[in-house]
A = this chain, B = another copy of it.
Amino acid sequence: MFETQEYTVTHSNAPSLRSFIQIDPASDFPIQNLPYGVFSAADSPKPRVGVAIGDFVLDLAVLEDEGLLDLSPAYEVFAQPSLNPFMALGPVVWSKVRAAISALLRDDNPRLRDDKPLRSRALRPRNEVTLHLPFHVAGYTDFYSSKEHATNVGVMFRGKDNALQPNWLHMPIGYNGRASTVVVSGTRVRRPRGQLKPPSADVPSFGPCKRLDFELEMGVVIGQPSSLGEMLTETQAEAMIFGFVLLNDWSARDIQQWEYVPLGPFQSKAFATSISPWVVTREALEPFRVAGPAQDPTPLPYLQQVSAQNYDLALDVALQAAGSNAVQNISQTNFKYMYWSSVQQLMHHASSGCAMSVGDLLGSGTISGPEKHQRGSLLEISWNGTEPVELAGGVKRTFLEDGDSLVMRGWCQGNGYRVGFGEVEGTIVAAD
């Protein structure tokens, strides 16, 4: 516990806040952000929880051990290899700890700033640590909540007049994904094998996927459980959201096309889902809330949301083709376009009485925008392979090739600072 608060109390999101750590205005990790992750270092290989601040990682296990985080000494939630124990403590504690970390990093608080031995134990250069999957994924659910994405896919496969399925405007359509293969940014993605049956073939064959794609998504990290049989109000759902990650829902389009009727995607999505190592808290994103698109028809009462539904969160996708040095932007969009919000997805998820768990991950669904450059998957960008993407040096892509590296970034732009997610990167390796 820090005992004196001689500095002025300032909200942890205030643009005026400054840290004693020098932070570039273009950094994703100013004092207004404070995202959580799990890291280890060569000299201390046990993974534990840290917070990104500028070019450093703040070791929360050290601060907790010193009694500086306003937590009961009994907890020991940060000397753990996942965020789940901390998340389980609930939103009041999340807020208190965020305030304590913010106060410790302020330029006008001497406690950490002037304690050189503590600083050298607690602050590590970010490029010297290894980042791990930040939480144990209890369950992974993937939604399909961008109207532009669902419409693009519908036009491609069913034509303009039947683009949206009849249920789409009435609820956030989603399916259960595979939690065991959620991996952290930087994990190489092996090209999946599967049954393929192109229209020209009479029977399926088994082999490496030929239409490997990404899907640009945000992931919601659920930090509180709900009970079997319990529905959620908007207030309850909101309070259960710990934070957000960038999410790449890798997709094997050819495997998906053959397997998905009638029970949905299975092996086409099961081989990997990549997330960013940093979980940006709901609290850090609060200043960036904006209204979502008008919902027509009006959602059923159990899905209605009073507060601003969306976040103004810029997203881009860059592709570095195998063997090339050029990293080229292939999509620029924004999370604000989503038709169904994360809170609505969560209220729908629990509506049958489905119990939610600490560590559940909810993918937003591919985030596409109204413009062509805002499409969130190669399926849409290359219009089902018919319009190749032109990259530097005459390289073209319809889908991903072995050796390609894909990087997604996301950030909210504040006044003189940005609250960013870092990146989620994945490089494709050959099937064998």
Contacts and interface: CB of A to CB of B under 8 A. Distances in A.
Contacts of A262: 165, 173, 260, 264
Given A193-B351, A252-B352, A351-B267, A228 B272 contact: yes
A173 B351 contact: no
Contacts of A351: 193-194, 206, 267
Contacts of A260: 262-264
Contact of A259 (B171, B194, B197): B171
Contact of A352 (B192, B197, B349, B357): B192
A180 B263 contact: no
A262 B179 CA distance: 21
A181 B266 contact: no
A124 interface: no
Contacts of A302: 193, 206
Given A194-B352, A263-B175, A356-B180, A300 B204 contact: yes
Contact of A270 (B177, B195, B352): B352
Nearest to A355: B180
Contact of A261 (B165, B171, B271, B357): B165
Given A262-B165, A263-B265, A353 B180 contact: no
23 contacts: A167-B195, A167-B197, A167-B204, A171-B195, A174-B263, A175-B176, A175-B263, A175-B264, A180-B355, A181-B355, A192-B353, A195-B300, A205-B300, A206-B351, A228-B271, A228-B272, A260-B263, A263-B265, A264-B264, A264-B265, A267-B354, A268-B352, A272-B353
Nearest to A157: B262
Interface in A350-368: 351-357, 360
* Interface residues of chain A: helix, strand, loop or mixed (majority): loop
Given A193-B351, A193-B353, A267-B351, A301 B206 contact: yes
Contacts of A288: none
Nearest to A154: B262
Contacts of A349: 267, 270
Nearest to A303: B206
A139 B301 contact: no
B353 A170 contact: no
A190 B270 CA distance: 31
A348 interface: yes
Interface of A: 138-139, 144, 165, 167, 170-171, 173-181, 183, 190, 192-195, 197, 203-206, 228-229, 231, 252, 255, 258-268, 270-272, 297, 300-302, 348-349, 351-357, 360
A269 to B, nearest CB: 9
A348 B349 CA distance: 28
A73 to B, nearest CB: 26
Contact of A170 (B179, B195, B252): B195
Given A167-B259, A206-B302, A268-B352, 16 more contacts: A139-B178, A165-B262, A167-B261, A171-B195, A171-B259, A176-B178, A176-B270, A178-B354, A180-B354, A180-B356, A181-B228, A193-B352, A203-B297, A260-B263, A267-B354, A271-B352
